[in-house]
Structure 1
Amino acid sequence: MRHPDISRSGSVRRPQVTGRWPGGRPGEARWYAPVAVAADAAGVLVPVLLVYHLTGQPRPLAAAAVATVGWLALRAGHRRYRPGRLGESRGLLASAHDWLLLLGLLAGLRAVLGEHSEVSAAALALLPAPLVTGLTAAALHRHLTRRRHRAEAVRRVLVVGEPDAVDAVVSRLAAGTDHAYVTVGAVLLGPGELTSGVPPLSRLPIEPPAHCPEVPDLIPAGTDGSGVLAAARRQSADLVLLVPGTRLGGDRLRRLCWSVQDAGLALCVTSGLTEVARHRITVASAAGLNLLHVAPPPRRGAPLLWKAATDRIVAALALVVLAPLLAALALAVRLDSPGPVLYRQTRIGHRGTPFTLWKFRTMVPDADRHRPALETVNEHCATPLFKIRRDPRITRIGRLLRRTSLDELPQLVNVVRGEMALVGPRPPLPDEVARYGTVELRRLSVRPGLTGPWQVSGRSELSWDEGLALDLAYADNWTLTGDLDVLARTVRAVVSGRGAW
């Protein structure tokens, strides 16, 4: 998906930027904070009053007031309502974290004050709080994302650096519209031209003058500082993004930072790290250097043991609950076309271990035998994938099962057996893995999943490179809360059917 500031022809369109916060800071609409506070208050006050009245608990109004004030205080104490924060994420981890703290706080107050309401009633009354908060945060996130699709609530960014480095940064920013950065121009250092379509506004000298006696050293007129500031004024930029390199580093980078910040413009510097989640990075200082410590990807430890145990328990419970649906789907497959109900296929799992994947049959029984004849119409012929939008081998019921992803449900058995996880990269075929390089093989460093980032981001509509990038980012940055987010987004992806061939 291209960013609104770059047209299909590669030329740059200057977006109409709206929705700024005071001081030129873009962010959520002004009503976000009142709505979030009101939703948080209602998510505690109303359920506590209702449950306490229906179950005959003592002092329902006092209990509701204390719980509501405690909930809002915890949320405010963690700066959940701060401008520039609401709408930036779905808030799943934040709401769960605050809710657990609320339970601990109220349990302590209960012990100190000698409150005698039933524990089961109190727990039931507090259950809706994280749900209401999470749904509100998700709604604000969707609203802010839609505004950014229209180039609203964004920052107008001027990028400064060498042409190749500027192109790389601009391309990454233009690849998504879920962030606040819209590139409106570039200031270049050194030879070379831009290919990203962003307008080059000026070019700084390769080596700045040693001294300009007519002005203070902090802002040397006619060199880096004035050139960047002139370009920023020309494009009404409110953020200068510096891309360090061989020609922009050390003392020159520091002086340019002074110039930009003394002029009142916001400033940020790229680190060169990509696809590394923020929770893996810590900042330290040594000898005047700012050091980024990058934690290794999670490959062992308690969180992974918890994930494996939870996946198996949830999958086993799902098989029990979904047993009638599974039986109905099996009957539909059997009646629709001759052949077995289940399709078994060898896939490659964690660390290259092969296993047998199960799914409801969606093709004619001898589909694999017909595949070589269809290689010429493979829509991913330059990649290890084999995908055809209208595959003639798919049966009538198979199209429905694929669109709704119901054909994947038997893989819950694979999850129970420990061969797969609920969330992870999709398990590849052996012939696909045979074409993998060292980069692609990192997909196998985690267990394959029943669903994953690829499925909730477009499925077959994504290119091989886009899907690979999502899988590698998941493998390197996996978290339990990220899995919960993918599971929640899976429901929406299944309902929409987007990219399901």
Structure 2
Amino acid sequence: MLALTDVAVVVMAVYGAHFLRFGFRDEPLTVGDTIVELEIGYLITSTLFVVGWLLALQIFGTRDAEVIGGGSSEYRRIADATLRVFGALAILALLFQVQFGRFYLLIALPSGLILLIASRWLWRQWLNRQRRNGRFMQRAIVIGDRDKAGHIAAQIMREPESGIHIVGAVTTHGSPDPLLNRIPVLGDFSDVLEIIDSHSVDAVILSTADAITPKHTRKFGWALDQKRIDLIVAPALTDIAGPRIHTRPVAGLPLIHVEYPHFEGRQRVAKRVFDLVGSLALIVLFSPVMLAVAIAVKVSSAGPVLYSQERIGLHGNPFRMLKFRSMMVGADDQLQSLLDQQGTSDRPLFKVNDDPRITPVGRFIRRYSLDELPQFFNVLIGTMSLVGPRPQREAEVALYDDDAHRRLIMKPGITGLWQVNGRSDLSWDDAIRLDLYYVENWSVTNDIVVVARTLSAIVRPTGAH
């Protein structure tokens, strides 16, 4: 289905550009000082263009099972294949002095790339819905020491969209009790091949274990190859994205090199440029909405339109975060007593369920995140970023442990992984895990993906208080 969709999109983009530029007529191409008529017209060129584009999508593995359905690698491969096709086209045009119509290319490139990514995103939403219902899943068992197998299973089960269904575990030693109180221990490593056959396993996830020697692992891999069962080796690395991991064979060992996260130099400049361009564009785009919200806040309750609150930003430095006022005046003075009544004053996420301080208009604008629109100006002046860790109060930061302080090496964001994965419904541990994952694996591509997912989260708001 992805292949059919790719064909439809590329044909639509290329021949759509041809139609908008030339209509239904064919046009000759200018090569040097000569005119090549029917032999190489734009219709033939468009056909070759379509074929080359589709071949590039295949060659660059944009439909590989390892990348579809999750992560940003699928989108990066599509962008890489598309840009290389147009780069090759530009080189050929320069070598043979072919005068391509600029308008023709300016339509085909961006429209095709946007439609390809949009179509893949739509298919991903469909696939994720199917996987949440238990379809299109790989049946897998986890093999290794009990603690490590349990950790791997917990991480995988946290995301059903991964497409892996853990049917059981094979441990090398320890208790036969179920892992995580729900994953049965099917036996030990000596019986693993019989266990695989009896449970219709599609994949085996192998973690490190003292009892499994390199010789055992090699023979086990050969046996799985004969059975056409995937072997997945899970190292003891958590929350590290693919671009930071590089495998290099040394003396027959597949050594995994892990790059440390760097956020300096060109990375910092790239993020700032993304924030500046994005915030300016969004301020212009949402200016009518901001005006309407400002009027609604002003006429619905007494008090100022804007509300500013001190939050902790980059490197622990405080800043004033802007929002449309969604609560009654003096709401901050009531926060501690409400948290005490709720029994959550000792937790870093200061959220009040069924908050009585919120005005009727405030409840609506908070539900759809309209109260956060003035934060575009925070981004513009550089105290916040479009995407980043959750901005928190000083009292919340005071409850951080050592790990949580690492999230302060980046500016807080208007949106982030916490916004698109549950918002206020997240536990503190999950919120910190997502923020640390973002800090450790930041990229412009991931920022674009988060912004796109934020639009979906706003349209279908869940976890907004």
Provide the TM-score with structure 1 as the length reference: 0.84
Match of 2:156 in 1: 173
* Structure 2 residue corresponding to 1:126, chosen from 89, 105, 109: 109
Q: Is the 8 A contact 2:168 2:185 kept in 1?
A: yes
Q: Is the 8 A contact 2:6 2:54 kept in 1?
A: no
Q: Is the 8 A contact 1:454 1:471 kept in 2?
A: yes
Match of 1:392 in 2: 356
Taking the TM superposition and a 5 Å limit, the aligned residue runs for 1:140-289 are 140-192=123-175, 193-196=177-180, 197-204=182-189, 224=190, 227-261=191-225, 264-289=228-253
Q: Is the 8 A contact 2:13 2:107 kept in 1?
A: no
Match status 1:68 vs 2:50: yes
* Structure 1 residue corresponding to 2:420, chosen from 456, 478, 489: 456
- With over 3 angstroms needed to count, the CA separation of the structure-2 counterparts of 1:125 and 1:168, relative to structure 1, is closer
Paired with 1:366 and 1:471, the residues of 2 have a C-alpha distance of 30
Match of 2:338 in 1: 374
Paired with 1:437 and 1:320, the residues of 2 have a C-alpha distance of 40
CA shift digits 1:126-157 (9 cap, x unpaired): 33100111111112212222222222222211
Match of 1:491 in 2: 455
Match status 1:445 vs 2:409: yes
* Amino acid in the other structure paired with 1:39: V
Q: Is the 8 A contact 1:47 1:126 kept in 2?
A: no
Q: Is the 8 A contact 1:378 1:386 kept in 2?
A: no
- State the SS of the aligned residue for 1:178: helix
- With over 3 angstroms needed to count, the CA separation of the structure-2 counterparts of 1:377 and 1:459, relative to structure 1, is farther
Match of 1:106 in 2: 89
- With over 3 angstroms needed to count, the CA separation of the structure-2 counterparts of 1:428 and 1:60, relative to structure 1, is same
* Structure 2 residue corresponding to 1:296, chosen from 238, 260, 263: 260
State the percentage of identical aligned residues: 34
* Structure 1 residue corresponding to 2:19, chosen from 43, 49, 52: 49
* Structure 2 residue corresponding to 1:428, chosen from 367, 378, 392: 392
Match of 1:467 in 2: 431
With 233-242 and 423-432 compared, the bigger mean Cα shift is at 233-242
CA shift digits 1:296-344 (9 cap, x unpaired): 1122121221111221232134324433332222221111111111111
* Amino acid in the other structure paired with 1:194: P
- State the SS of the aligned residue for 1:285: strand
* Amino acid in the other structure paired with 2:48: V
Match of 2:5 in 1: 35
Q: Is the 8 A contact 1:280 1:296 kept in 2?
A: yes
Q: Is the 8 A contact 1:158 1:187 kept in 2?
A: yes
What is the count of residue pairs matched by the alignment?
Answer: 450
* Structure 2 residue corresponding to 1:364, chosen from 328, 345, 361: 328
* Amino acid in the other structure paired with 1:78: F
Deviation at 1:52, TM superposition (A): 2.6
Q: Is the 8 A contact 2:53 2:85 kept in 1?
A: yes
Match status 1:344 vs 2:308: yes
- State the SS of the aligned residue for 2:349: coil
Match of 1:135 in 2: 118
- State the SS of the aligned residue for 1:335: helix
Q: Is the 8 A contact 1:425 1:447 kept in 2?
A: yes
- With over 3 angstroms needed to count, the CA separation of the structure-2 counterparts of 1:82 and 1:92, relative to structure 1, is closer
With 404-413 and 257-266 compared, the bigger mean Cα shift is at 257-266
- State the SS of the aligned residue for 1:293: strand
- With over 3 angstroms needed to count, the CA separation of the structure-2 counterparts of 1:376 and 1:83, relative to structure 1, is closer
Match of 1:17 in 2: none
* Amino acid in the other structure paired with 2:167: V
- State the SS of the aligned residue for 2:188: strand
Deviation at 1:289, TM superposition (A): 3.2
Q: Is the 8 A contact 1:159 1:240 kept in 2?
A: yes
Paired with 1:317 and 1:191, the residues of 2 have a C-alpha distance of 58
- With over 3 angstroms needed to count, the CA separation of the structure-2 counterparts of 1:46 and 1:444, relative to structure 1, is same
Paired with 1:359 and 1:397, the residues of 2 have a C-alpha distance of 14
Match of 1:324 in 2: 288
* Amino acid in the other structure paired with 1:73: L
CA shift digits 1:176-206 (9 cap, x unpaired): 11112211122222222333211222235xx
In structure 2, list runs of 5 or more residues that go unmatched: 29-40
With 350-359 and 371-380 compared, the bigger mean Cα shift is at 371-380
CA shift digits 1:402-438 (9 cap, x unpaired): 0111111111111111111111112110001111111
Q: Is the 8 A contact 2:171 2:185 kept in 1?
A: yes
- With over 3 angstroms needed to count, the CA separation of the structure-2 counterparts of 1:121 and 1:233, relative to structure 1, is closer
Q: Is the 8 A contact 1:379 1:388 kept in 2?
A: no
With 154-163 and 410-419 compared, the bigger mean Cα shift is at 154-163
Paired with 2:386 and 2:425, the residues of 1 have a C-alpha distance of 22
* Amino acid in the other structure paired with 1:398: G
- With over 3 angstroms needed to count, the CA separation of the structure-2 counterparts of 1:297 and 1:83, relative to structure 1, is closer
- With over 3 angstroms needed to count, the CA separation of the structure-2 counterparts of 1:203 and 1:343, relative to structure 1, is same
- State the SS of the aligned residue for 1:271: coil
Paired with 2:52 and 2:226, the residues of 1 have a C-alpha distance of 42
Deviation at 1:240, TM superposition (A): 2.1
Paired with 1:124 and 1:72, the residues of 2 have a C-alpha distance of 17
Match of 1:13 in 2: none
Q: Is the 8 A contact 1:423 1:487 kept in 2?
A: yes
- With over 3 angstroms needed to count, the CA separation of the structure-2 counterparts of 1:85 and 1:252, relative to structure 1, is closer
Paired with 1:313 and 1:152, the residues of 2 have a C-alpha distance of 41
Report the aligned-residue RMSD. 2.3
Provide the TM-score with structure 2 as the length reference: 0.90
Paired with 2:330 and 2:24, the residues of 1 have a C-alpha distance of 61
- With over 3 angstroms needed to count, the CA separation of the structure-2 counterparts of 1:81 and 1:368, relative to structure 1, is closer
